[in-house]
Structure 1
Amino acid sequence: MASSTINRWLRPEVYPLFAAVGVAVGICGMQLVRNICTNPEVRVTKENRAAGVLDNFSEGEKYSEHALRKFVRNKSPEIMPSINGFFSNPN
């Protein structure tokens, strides 16, 4: 019984599926850890929860303006701009 299950799921055709699901789970886990550790609105410890609502705008700005957002702010929203320009703007 167990060997037929292993033979069914551990085929080379299934490896890309495992990789895609693994990457998706990794991204979800990374976002969860980021929110728990650095989000100013999430308070895990009892002392922080007792503080109530804080008007800490600078901490919220620092959280929302992370490095990736700053990097892509002035970039064109294209995956391959040179190829897109080649096919859309013929000379």
Structure 2
Amino acid sequence: MSSRWLRPEVYPLFAATGVAVGICGFSLIRNITGNPEVRVTKENRAAGVLDNHAEGEKYKENFLRKYVRNKHPEIMPGINKFFTDPKY
């Protein structure tokens, strides 16, 4: 009975669904633990609206954003240079 449901053609669908669930889980955990606008505990919710711009800036300027800030938006820069640069 299980061979009827687990065919090899379904594995890419399981992989894509697993990646999507993983990305959603990562986003949920990141927002709950790090977002300054999300307050889970009752004490933090009682504080009201805070103007804590430093904490918001720290959340916004994460490692990935800092890493790609000065990079060119190319997927394969070596191949692009090879085909577009006349020096090669």
Is 1:27 the counterpart of 2:20? The answer is: no
Write the distance in 2 (CA, Å) between the matches of 1:12 and 1:89. Answer: 44
Deviates more, 1:79-88 or 1:45-54: 79-88
Number of equivalences: 87
Segments of 5+ residues of structure 2 without an aligned counterpart are none
CA RMSD, aligned part only? 1.3
- Residues 12-91 of structure 1: matches in 2 within 5 Å? 12-91=8-87
Residue 8 of structure 1: CA displacement?
3.3
TM-score by length of 2: 0.89
1:35-79: CA deviation from partner (whole Å, max 9, x where unpaired): 011100000111101101100000000000001111111111111
Write the distance in 1 (CA, Å) between the matches of 2:6 and 2:85. Answer: 47
Segments of 5+ residues of structure 1 without an aligned counterpart are none
TM-score by length of 1: 0.86
